[in-house]
Amino acid sequence: MKLSLHGVSVWYSNAVTQLRIAHETGYSGLEILPEHLYRYLDNGGSYAKYRELMAKYDIEITCINALKRIGRFQPEERAALLREAEKVVQAAVELRCPVVQIMALTELDHLPDAARDAILLENLCAIADIGKPHGIKFQIEVVAFTAFNSLQHALDLIKQSGKDNLGVVVDFWHLHAGGGTTPDEVARMDKDLIYGVHFCDGRAAYPGEAWDEWVQRNYAPGEGDVDIPAWVAAVKATGYNGVWSPELLSPRNWEDDLWDIARHSIDDMKKYIH
């Protein structure tokens, strides 16, 4: 089992500081956001320098999170998506990172189911093919407030794709709030299709309330509606022994000391896992 600091949990920090925080608070990995990584590179940083810092702090990059809006299908938009996929795969290669997260947002929600699935399948295959020669895998995150929000939907598309470098991340909040997946479904999964776990809490949007992650996820573990013990037990039942990452998407908690956020996040997760 690897414990990886999630870049979202320390949102108001930079890529360099995150390595130090992870090292000093007990993690062995970092799930880095492209926003933080690219900002570092755009302002004088380099992959070589960053690899030196990874070695100094003995921290692996376990995932780059994320390539978003993978349902783009208009010719210019799709071309931009594939360029972004090439860029993030190159980043993964440079950082010796095995996994890139990918996710659709609401770009396809207006389409009929069959048309949406056809686009997703085509794009998933194209993205998988970009990463395959480099040994890069892709974890699909189904997003609660979109039409592509159930675990089974993702697993069906992976099966149809025939690609062996596509899997999923088990994100407690997204699966709970999306309403289309139960812990029992996770427990029955092939563990080899689980590329990561996002340990988190929160609630679904109330009736008539707009979806806003900064509102519905503004909860520390144990404060929201997610049945965390059930989701933890489901993941463990599969025999999965990979990366667990506490994802604290919480504007209230983001205002704490960065080191305290990381410590509380790993301590809270360990209480439930162990």
pLDDT in tens, 48-97: 999 999 999 999 999 999 999 999 999 999 999 999 999 999 999 999 99
**For position 175, what pLDDT does the model report?**
98
**Alpha carbon of 8 to those of 50, 70, 103, 138, 219: distances in Å?**
19, 20, 16, 19, 14
| C-alpha distance from residue 62 to each of 44, 82, 257 (Å) | 23, 22, 24
pLDDT-derived band of residue 37, with 50, 70 and 90 as boundaries? Answer: very high
Q: Position 196: which residue type? A: G
Look at residues 203, 223, 222 and name the one whose alpha carbon lies nearest to residue 211: 203
* Residue 230: pLDDT band with limits 50, 70, 90: very high
Which ranges of 188-257 would DSSP assign to H, the alpha helix?
213-216, 228-237, 251-254
